[in-house]
């Protein structure tokens, strides 16, 4: 995630897919570190969504978690994760068009 911040400008609709299938179950410490990271960089990551893929054996995936204007959610199914990441892109594209045209 730190490497993303090296980009000179991040798109408003940045989408991140984190594949943790096969990794250890996220601990509360891991989740706390993620939340702290996103809070610390909220101004640069505003509008970003991150989907975290986890194994089906992970007991309770995180619900839709919001940190400022950043959203993160866990999924067991990759297709669902991709759908969630892309579901508001049309709205963002329309806002961009309105900004360019008006």
Please say if the pLDDT value at position 72 is more than 70. yes
- Distance, CA of 91 to CA of 3 (rounded, Å): 27
Q: How many folded domains does the chain comprise? A: 1
Q: Which two tokens stand for residue 85?
A: 């990441």
Q: With bands split at pLDDT 50, 70 and 90, how would you rate the model's confidence at 91?
A: low
pLDDT at 2: 78
Q: Which has the higher per-residue pLDDT, 8 or 62?
A: 8
Instruction: Report the C-alpha gap between 82 and 44 in whole angstroms.
Output: 22
pLDDT in tens, 21-70: 998 877 788 878 888 888 888 888 888 898 989 888 877 666 777 877 88
pTM to 2 decimal places:
0.73
Q: What percent of the chain has pLDDT over 90?
A: 17
Residue 96 pLDDT class (50, 70, 90 cuts): very low
Position 82 scores a pLDDT of: 94
Distance CA 60, CA 8 (A): 36
Residue 75 and residue 53 in contact, taking contact as beta carbons nearer than 8 Å: yes
Which domain does 90 fall in, by range? 2-101
């Amino acid at each position: 995630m730190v490497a993303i911040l090296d980009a000179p400008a991040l798109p408003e609709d940045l989408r991140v897919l984190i594949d943790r299938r096969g990794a250890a179950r996220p601990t509360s410490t891991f989740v706390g570190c993620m939340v702290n990271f996103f809070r610390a960089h909220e101004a640069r990551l505003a509008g970003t969504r991150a989907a975290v893929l986890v194994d089906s054996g992970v007991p309770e995936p995180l619900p839709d978690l919001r940190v400022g204007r950043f959203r993160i959610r866990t999924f067991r199914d990759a297709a669902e994760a991709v759908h969630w990441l892309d579901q508001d892109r049309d709205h963002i594209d329309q806002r961009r068009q309105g900004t360019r045209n008006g």
